Chains A and B, each alone.
Chain A
């Protein structure tokens, strides 16, 4: 153990954990963030997704030692309840949730991809979401919400 400094949602945190600890446990247990969730612990479902320097990564299989000085953004770091980020607003407007447990994976994977590839086609977006799971199967609405956000990126 030893104190490690970590940049999350615009703030610097010092945490005292084993550097091999998966980032997810640090975010949930030490920083008590609610966005990233434990789904499988195997990097297979996406529920633990966070942005690392703008890229979507699976925090359940990423050891803290692999973060270094990268900026981490979680789902709650994107926007607030009063002022959601446009992609969060798109999900609210399309009523694209049931249990909502998967949303970090869905929203952050789509956001990272569209920010890098603002002209992505629907097929390319779909391909990018091929590793994300939603067991309530809100696929229709989620895809509409992502398309809505994609449109604003293309403008």
Chain B
């Protein structure tokens, strides 16, 4: 989307091969001829090259991806990838993302998995490499020379003697009819001319000039406006709806009720808002909520599903032998995705088919959910990803897609469903989980760690709907489906090998199951027992889900251990790490920040003065999906308890970097989002419902803050696989800030957010 074209213009111009479906979205949503070569949705086969790559009559390369862009930059990076592998200029590539009638099923765009999936030897990258090799083979046949004597560049295959043929002449308007070759040779970072270069986001111009088409801007002929009426209390069920209460509202089309799902549809948005506000609905009183003040104790008393991640079976013995045992408990609240745009989707449900324009991260699973809710065969539903506001995980996108589908089905016309801000924050999204994490470690007389026991409790309800659980999001549950149950279960002995996907296992232990050790540290005596507890609120992935919560606890506790040993926190970490890539980022960050080796607690500080301190935190994201170390420098204002971050120095290794400009933008945004989450963000509730339902009660940092300096060191490695880069930096922010507060004042913050009140309380309680 480079030149100010609308999405529809863009699709329409994307060449002969794709015009047939490119024109389809607005005109004939489920007509035949949607995908490349008239592919029926169920025939899009990721094993076939034609499902990924087409060369059109104008020589442009069209690529189809199941990983979509919400502002994280993957659209631009994937365009670079295709240009690189096909050896064409960036502006000769058209990328079509996430449409169940057009693109391969790549599940969900989440979890920092787009880069590992599509940039290593799989997915889009492997398809593009296959296409290049196929073109070279065709040219070789035409010239009667071996393919090894040909090179590809700028859309041509050229022989040594100067003879050349364009891609267009080789394949235009024809299928490749090949399977993706898992052995097709990828272009190496040393050969890259487009990939690996800093490319500004391809949507920047349209965004800055207000021309980009968000899902909020989708209009379908005959479209109506829908708004929702959510329950007033958690667990409240519908008793009755008084349709006469809205009878006089002009433009009202219908009050829609399905089990506990209630919505209104009107000709104009204003009329729908009025009807939703005026509709008289009687609900039961709800289930009542545990008191927020005691919630972290409440969590630990609930029945839980337990998993023993690692257990060397000698931890109790080692702790008994230790010179000192340190114990700490860390608490992390529910946090909201808090997308700046309340979620929106448009659905056009007809008797035998449905089309949904959805900001979902997962078009295929959402298609299945919509089909289930509507009672339609899945192949008769089409979900077209259309970008919403940045989501950072499971915001209201899936729920509002279900809302739109239910409302449209009820009125038999296209409906645009728009959540209100209150809907989004109390009845729209699946919050990031609240956690309590207990830490215990034994140290020897010199302060070295000899055993580490960690026990995290996380709350959970619902999650991604996937292909079979519409009840995992609010609308699915309101419409009568159940969320995934949490069955209490005792832990069994760990088997297989460690999967540290939630970073429940600290970086400093060996992570052994049997003789397979996948941890990044050197402490041999280790036990990590996780507990999952049923949540009163819906939960789901929020940028660095559980990884951030667990890392906050590990990295602050490591700092406590370091302080106990009177050691320098960088040197102390390095002594307990053995993963070379994690060690390298710690050293790189320390060097870039000109870290002064000394024990924590800035001795020069005097009472009453503004205190300054520095703190470090590091992590191997998900165990092996990106490596980061962050140094935070903060000011603490002891009288007010206010924290002012002054400088962040980050070192990150995400393997071969596809787009350094995009990675830097993600790092900077991740750090400041992490700072907002560390300092202010917390979902609040009373005895019946969530009370943080607007930007005055949910505290996000505003644009007017004093912005700290952010310095990013990118470690670019060409000899390893590419990892994710969007969730790495945010994972360590709270810990680095907490450790810097300790260094400044001796106050140890163990509960997020670090509000002024908590800072002052920790300061008064310091030992």
Contact = CB atoms under 8 A, between A and B. Distances in A.
Given A37-B341, A88-B208, A99-B387, A136 B673 contact: yes
Interface in B636-680: 661, 665-666, 668-673, 675-676
A146 to B, nearest CB: 9
Contacts of A99: 70-71, 340, 387, 389-390
Given A76-B210, A97-B207, A131 B669 contact: no
B260 interface: no
Interface stretch (B487-495, B564-572, B620-628, B701-709): B701-709
Contacts of B392: 135
A75 B73 CA distance: 22
A142 interface: yes
Contacts of A141: 665, 668
Given A28-B216, A41-B421, A92-B205, 12 more contacts: A25-B269, A38-B216, A76-B209, A77-B210, A84-B208, A97-B71, A100-B203, A103-B208, A133-B340, A135-B340, A137-B676, A140-B710
B340 A39 contact: yes
A28 B421 CA distance: 17
Nearest to A110: B703
A34 B214 CA distance: 8
Given A98-B669, A133-B700, A139 B390 contact: no
A89 B209 CA distance: 9
B208 A91 contact: yes
A136 to B, nearest CB: 5
Contacts of A53: none
B376 to A, nearest CB: 28
Please provide the 9 A-B residue pairs with the shortest distance between their CB atoms, ordered closest to farther: A99-B71, A81-B4, A35-B210, A75-B210, A130-B704, A100-B207, A99-B390, A137-B672, A76-B210
Range, interface on chain B:
35 or more
Interface in B165-222: 200-201, 203-214, 216-217, 219
A45 interface: yes
9 contacts: A18-B250, A32-B219, A45-B695, A75-B210, A81-B206, A95-B204, A97-B204, A128-B704, A136-B71
A129 B208 contact: no
Contacts of A95: 200-201, 204, 661, 665
B34 interface: no
Nearest to B199: A95
Q: Which of A45, A74, A132 has the most CB of B within 10 A?
A: A45
Interface in B600-614: none
A117 B378 CA distance: 57
Contacts of A66: none
B695 A40 contact: yes
Nearest to A125: B704
A3 interface: no
Contacts of B217: 28, 32, 34
Contacts of A100: 71, 203, 207-208, 212
Nearest to B225: A29
A152 to B, nearest CB: 16
A38 B418 contact: yes
A8 B71 CA distance: 29
B634 interface: no
A37 B214 contact: yes
Q: Which of B70, B72, B676, B695 has the most CB of A within 10 A?
A: B695
Contact of A44 (B207, B213, B418, B694): B694
A77 B71 CA distance: 23
B532 interface: no
Interface in A92-110: 92, 95, 97-104, 106-107
A44 B208 contact: no
A13 interface: no
A42 interface: yes
A51 interface: no
Range, interface on chain A:
35 or more
Interface string B315-342: 0000000000000000000000011111
Contacts, number: 198
A126 B705 contact: yes
Contact of B269 (A20, A29, A40, A79): A29
A82 to B, nearest CB: 7
Contacts of B214: 34, 37, 101
A17 B268 contact: yes
B420 interface: yes
Q: Which of A38, A44, A137 has the most CB of B within 10 A?
A: A137
A135 B698 CA distance: 12
Nearest to A24: B269
Given A42-B421, A128-B704, A133-B340, A139 B672 contact: yes
Interface in B218-251: 219, 225, 250
B291 interface: no
Given A80-B209, A99-B387, A133-B700, A138 B340 contact: no
B696 A44 contact: yes
Contacts of B670: 137
A107 B210 CA distance: 11
Nearest to A132: B703
B425 to A, nearest CB: 9
A89 B621 CA distance: 36
B344 interface: yes
Contacts of B225: 29
Contact of A103 (B210, B219, B672, B673): B210
A67 to B, nearest CB: 15
Contacts of A140: 668, 672, 707, 710
Q: Which of B203, B208, B671 has the most CB of A within 10 A?
A: B208
Q: Which of A97, A101, A126 has the most CB of B within 10 A?
A: A101
A135 B429 CA distance: 15
A83 B668 CA distance: 28
B3 interface: yes
Nearest to B666: A98
A135 B339 contact: yes
B282 interface: no
A135 B337 CA distance: 9
A139 B268 contact: no
A74 B208 CA distance: 11
Interface string B421-452: 10000000000000000000000000000000
A81 B213 contact: no
A121 interface: no
B197 to A, nearest CB: 14
B270 interface: yes
